[in-house]
């Protein structure tokens, strides 16, 4: 490596490390080193003069130094920086002009004519063929965003890269066409595949978002779900209470029939007849009322097309459709899910009629427990009165009085 190239490498490394703004995430020293490496690779496979070799390496090291002066017209700025540096090193004017000519050919719309120009252009885009292309490309995207130049979505950036590959860029040297073009083609496939994947994901998200917007709000869903659950829980509680009353009264009646009633045919137990009847009557009434509380109502189980079209039938309750055919019910449900207002209306009706059923159950249960409580109280009082005034001791007293009268008589 000649002395001037070593000095150019040191100069470019210093200026790009210390004077370049931190927002240049792509056009930095790492990019320059990559270009120099690619130029060296191309020079190994192409015949150029020693002077062309030196000028190419100088242009590769200095071609992006103009970014230290700003973004605008950076190629010309790079030429000025290169000229000042090379003149300071006593480099000849013809060589400086050649270096500047090569730097200017790195413009995207420039058309390279000479072999050195083609080599530098191919080296500047050598990363198009690398497996790390997507990562390198994203640094340019971030650089433009940092500097406020352009901002891209994921799909837009992939489209921009695909456009660059297919419409704006081509390799010019034979070595690049043979050895780098396959890598570039592979990266183009990756770009297209990535674009397809992102579009599919975006489409799914759009459908999901649309469904979410068209479906009932989550808060409303929670409201209906919790309220319906509470209604069903209260209904289970009511049924449990009714079953308890049925079981208790059944036990009471069983005990009365097996132990108490068989003793009533004895004249000495006649005083127990009325208390026992009161006890059994209240138990039977309690059982009947408990059964009424849990007794289901039978509905028609049919609906008409007009009922569905006018939103008059609640399709969420089995009692409204159990006599309909599957095809009729399927059609009705399809109409229901098309209309969010109909869904709200059906859920509201479900809540309302469940509330009416609960109201009926709890009213009957309240009266049932009241009757049961009164029956127990009255029965206990009746048994107490019977024992007090008509019990065995009372009968013995009466019998003693009769015998005493007969004795004195």
CA 287/CA 241 separation, integer angstroms? 12
The answer for residues whose C-beta is within 8 angstroms of residue 87's C-beta and 6 or more apart is 96
Tell me which CATH code domain 1-124 carries: 1.10.3210.10
Mean pLDDT of all residues belonging to the chain: 83
- Supply the pLDDT for residue 376: 86
Predicted local distance difference test score (pLDDT) of residue 214: 53
Measured from the Cβ of residue 23, the count of other Cβ atoms closer than 10 Å reads 16
pLDDT category at 298 given cuts 50, 70, 90 is low
| Choice between 392 and 387, residue whose per-residue pLDDT is larger | 387
140-171 confidence digits (pLDDT tens): 999 999 988 889 988 899 999 999 999 989 99
Percent of the chain at pLDDT exceeding 90? 39
The model's pTM is 0.54
Q: What is the pLDDT of residues 162-218, one digit of tens each?
A: 999 999 899 999 999 999 999 999 999 999 999 888 888 888 877 666 655 555 567
- Give the residue-averaged pLDDT of 112-132: 93
Residue 393 has pLDDT above 70, yes or no: no
Residue 331 has pLDDT above 70, yes or no: yes
Compute the CA torsion angle 29, 35, 37, 43 (nearest 10 deg): -150
First to last CA, the chain: 161
């Amino acid at each position: 490596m000649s002395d001037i190239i070593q000095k150019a490498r040191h100069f470019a490394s210093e200026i790009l490390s210390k004077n370049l703004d931190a927002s240049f995430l792509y056009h930095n020293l790492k990019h320059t080193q990559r270009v120099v490496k690619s130029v060296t690779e191309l020079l190994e496979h192409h015949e150029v003069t020693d002077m062309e070799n030196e000028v190419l390496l100088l242009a590769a090291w200095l071609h992006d130094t103009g970014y230290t002066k700003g973004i605008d017209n950076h190629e010309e700025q790079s030429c000025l920086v290169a000229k000042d540096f090379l003149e300071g090193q006593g480099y000849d004017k013809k060589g400086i002009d050649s270096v500047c000519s090569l730097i200017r050919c790195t413009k995207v719309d420039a058309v390279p004519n000479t072999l050195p120009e083609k080599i530098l252009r191919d080296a500047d885009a050598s990363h198009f063929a690398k497996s790390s292309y997507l990562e390198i490309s994203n640094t340019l995207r971030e650089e433009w965003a940092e500097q406020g130049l352009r901002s891209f979505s994921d799909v837009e950036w992939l489209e921009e890269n695909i456009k660059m590959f297919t419409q704006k860029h081509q390799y010019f040297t034979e070595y690049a066409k043979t050895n780098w073009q396959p890598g570039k083609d592979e990266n183009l496939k990756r770009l297209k595949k990535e674009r397809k994947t992102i579009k599919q994901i975006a489409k799914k998200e759009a459908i999901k978002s649309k469904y979410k917007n068209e479906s009932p709000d989550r808060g409303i869903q929670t409201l209906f779900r919790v309220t319906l659950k509470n209604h069903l829980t209260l209904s289970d509680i009511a049924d449990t209470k009714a079953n308890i009353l049925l079981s208790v009264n059944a036990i009471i009646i069983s005990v009365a029939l097996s132990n108490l009633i068989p003793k009533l045919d004895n004249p000495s137990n006649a005083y127990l007849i009325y208390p026992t009847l009161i006890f059994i009557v209240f138990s039977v009434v309690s059982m009947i009322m408990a059964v009424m509380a849990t007794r289901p109502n039978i509905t028609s189980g049919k609906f008409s097309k007009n009922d569905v079209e006018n939103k008059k039938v609640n399709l969420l309750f089995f009692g409204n459709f159990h006599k309909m055919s599957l095809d009729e019910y399927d059609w009705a449900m399809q109409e229901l899910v098309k209309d969010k207002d109909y869904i709200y209306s059906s859920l509201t009706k479900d809540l309302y009629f469940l509330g009416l059923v609960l109201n009926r159950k709890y009213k009957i249960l309240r009266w049932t427990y009241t009757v049961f409580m009164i029956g127990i109280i009255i029965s206990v009082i009746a048994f107490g009165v019977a024992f007090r005034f008509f019990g065995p001791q009372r009968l013995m007293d009466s019998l003693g009085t009769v015998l005493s009268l007969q004795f004195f008589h």
